[in-house]
Amino acid sequence: MPLVTTKEMFAKAYDGGYAIGAFNVNNMEIVQGITEAAKEVNAPLILQVSKGARAYANHTYLTKLVEAAIIETGLPICLHLDHGDSFETCKSCIDGGFTSVMIDASSKPFAENIEITKKVVEYAHDHGVVVEAELGALAGIEDEVQVSAEESHYTRPEEVEEFVSKTGCDSLAIAIGTSHGAYKFKPGTNPQLRFDILDEVSKKLPGFPIVLHGSSSVPQEFVKMINENGGNMPGAIGVPEDQLRQAARGAVCKINIDSDLRLAMTGTIRKFFNDHPDKFDPREYLKPARAAIKEMVKHKLINVLGCDGKA
Ligand code: G3H
Ligand code: 13P
Ligand code: ZN
């Protein structure tokens, strides 16, 4: 099976009340951990590559790893550019075999966001590639500084129809209280996504796929593993999984997860070195790290996204 776009995946996910997991990949063990989990539970997948991942691992290595995963699993897999920052980056991924790109011009003024997104959509659609765009800026805590979650940071539902009709984008990432990284909410507070905004957006865009970024739940077992083995991540808090499940039942068709992969991998490797200070063969510590990713992703596919058995 060749790489697929998200068109059919999202249509089925919307109707079926589940979401597709979009997991960030940076190396072979991460690709293997995620795809082995998806194969075991027969789930469709989006594997996404950031600009940083392309700079780290190289475009060709990453696309070939994903092609290898398709050969090994036979699953429908979409290869997606995460947070494309310009037309040129998107074009390079479209020309280089990706089946989906995100143009993230959400920090630009509304009219400029429309203009750049439209340009990417025209080129992508001419080449059979789908486009995710973003409206609104993710709020949260960065570098242990609280970025105040003012209304202006959230997506404005009154803007979404005009944005989608003028750009022709295929899916839309919105800001309803998730944020990137491992420090999403203030310790001691009650994390709560803005489902009122999600509801308004979905009413204005019936049947249209919505995307949530910053959706790691920051499993405390991995934070503990990191902290107990020489790390220092106090107050790392993520999005409650039951709220992600609720979003997946509605219009949210794609849920982005990266930090949880990093935590699983880092926690496992830290523990390995603490338990075996004499070992130095990378295969010995990457093997349990890959297994930890696999178990964590399986849990997400079944209990959070609800996309098991949907491939
Ligand atoms: O949203 C960002 C993703 O977690 C990718 O992170 O740019 O460090 O690869 P990165
Ligand atoms: P997390 O940092 O919550 O994993 O978000 C990842 C993401 O949104 C990638 O685009
Ligand atoms: Zn993101």
Which residues does 94 contact at the CB level (< 8 Å), separation at least 6?
101, 123, 124, 127, 129
* C-alpha 303: how far from chain center: 16
The arithmetic mean of pLDDT across residues 24-49, rounded, is 98
214 Cβ below 6 A of ligand 2: yes
Indicate whether 149 pLDDT > 90.
Answer: no
Per-domain boundaries in the chain: 7-305
> CB neighbours (10 Å) of residue 16?
14
Query: Comparing 77-81, 103-107, 140-144, 166-170, which segment has the lowest mean pLDDT?
Result: 140-144
Percent of the chain with pLDDT over 70: 95
Q: Ligand 2 center to residue 256 CA distance, Å?
A: 5
Which residues are registered as beta bridge partners of 147? 140
Angle in degrees, CA 295, 296, 298, rounded to 5 = 65
Residue pair 199/155 in contact by the 8 Å Cβ criterion: no
The arithmetic mean of pLDDT across residues 166-173, rounded, is 98
Residue pair 45/35 in contact by the 8 Å Cβ criterion: yes
- 2: number of CA atoms within 13 Å, CB side? 5
Concatenate the DSSP letters of all residues of 108-139 into one string: S-HHHHHHHHHHHHHHHHHTT-EEEEEES---
Question: Looking at residue 150, what is its pLDDT?
Answer: 53
Amino acid identity for residue 5 in this structure: T
The arithmetic mean of pLDDT across residues 126-137, rounded, is 97
Question: Looking at residue 310, what is its pLDDT?
Answer: 98
Residues 252-268 pLDDT 10s: 999 999 999 999 999 99
Q: Which residue from 215, 219, 204, 223 is spatially nearest to 245, judged by alpha carbons?
A: 215
256 Cβ below 6 A of ligand 2: yes
Indicate whether 145 pLDDT > 50.
Answer: no
Question: Looking at residue 141, what is its pLDDT?
Answer: 42
180 Cβ below 6 A of ligand 1: yes
From 85, 101, 259, the mutation candidate for ligand 2 (largest count of ligand atoms within 8 A of CB) is 259
268 Cβ below 6 A of ligand 1: no
* C-alpha 239: how far from chain center: 13
Q: Which residue from 2, 14, 1 is spatially nearest to 307, judged by alpha carbons?
A: 14
Q: What is the band of 207 on the pLDDT scale with cuts at 50, 70, 90?
A: very high
83 Cβ below 6 A of ligand 1: yes
Q: What is the band of 151 on the pLDDT scale with cuts at 50, 70, 90?
A: very low
257 Cβ below 6 A of ligand 2: yes
Question: Angle between the 28-41 and 282-299 helix axes, to the nearest 10 degrees?
Answer: 40
Tell the burial category of 168 from Cβ atoms under 10 Å away from its Cβ (0-12, 13-18, 19+): middle
The arithmetic mean of pLDDT across residues 12-39, rounded, is 98
The arithmetic mean of pLDDT across residues 34-60, rounded, is 98
Indicate whether 200 pLDDT > 60.
Answer: yes
Q: What is the band of 32 on the pLDDT scale with cuts at 50, 70, 90?
A: very high
Q: CA–CA separation, 70 vs 85, rounded Å?
A: 27
Does the pTM exceed 0.85?
A: yes
Q: Name the residues annotated as catalytic.
A: 82
The arithmetic mean of pLDDT across residues 109-135, rounded, is 98
Q: CA–CA separation, 204 vs 254, rounded Å?
A: 18
Q: Which residue from 172, 231, 181 is spatially nearest to 204, judged by alpha carbons?
A: 172
Which residues are registered as beta bridge partners of 257? 23
Residue pair 51/57 in contact by the 8 Å Cβ criterion: no
Q: Which residue from 142, 134, 62 is spatially nearest to 96, judged by alpha carbons?
A: 62
Percent of the chain with pLDDT over 90: 94
308 Cβ below 6 A of ligand 2: no
Question: Looking at residue 1, what is its pLDDT?
Answer: 82
The arithmetic mean of pLDDT across residues 130-153, rounded, is 65
The two three-digit tokens of residue 185, written as one number = 């909410």
Residues 210-243 pLDDT 10s: 999 999 999 999 999 999 999 999 999 999 999 9
Q: Helix, strand or coil for residue 206?
A: coil
Question: Looking at residue 144, what is its pLDDT?
Answer: 36
From 239, 257, 262, the mutation candidate for ligand 2 (largest count of ligand atoms within 8 A of CB) is 257
Q: What is the band of 18 on the pLDDT scale with cuts at 50, 70, 90?
A: very high
The arithmetic mean of pLDDT across residues 86-113, rounded, is 97
Considering only CA atoms, which residue is closest to atom 5 of ligand 2?
Answer: 214
Task: Report DSSP state, residue 43.
Answer: -
Q: CA–CA separation, 70 vs 64, rounded Å?
A: 10
Superfamily of domain covering 7-305: Aldolase class I (3.20.20.70)
User: Could you identify the atom of ligand 2 that is nearest to the CA of residue 184?
Assistant: 3
User: Could you identify the atom of ligand 1 that is nearest to the CA of residue 214?
Assistant: 1
From 51, 83, 183, the mutation candidate for ligand 1 (largest count of ligand atoms within 8 A of CB) is 83
Mean pLDDT, rounded, of the chain? 95
Rg (CA), the chain: 19
The arithmetic mean of pLDDT across residues 275-298, rounded, is 98
Residue pair 257/24 in contact by the 8 Å Cβ criterion: yes
Considering only CA atoms, which residue is closest to atom 3 of ligand 2?
Answer: 214
Indicate whether 57 pLDDT > 60.
Answer: yes
Q: CA–CA separation, 252 vs 17, rounded Å?
A: 9
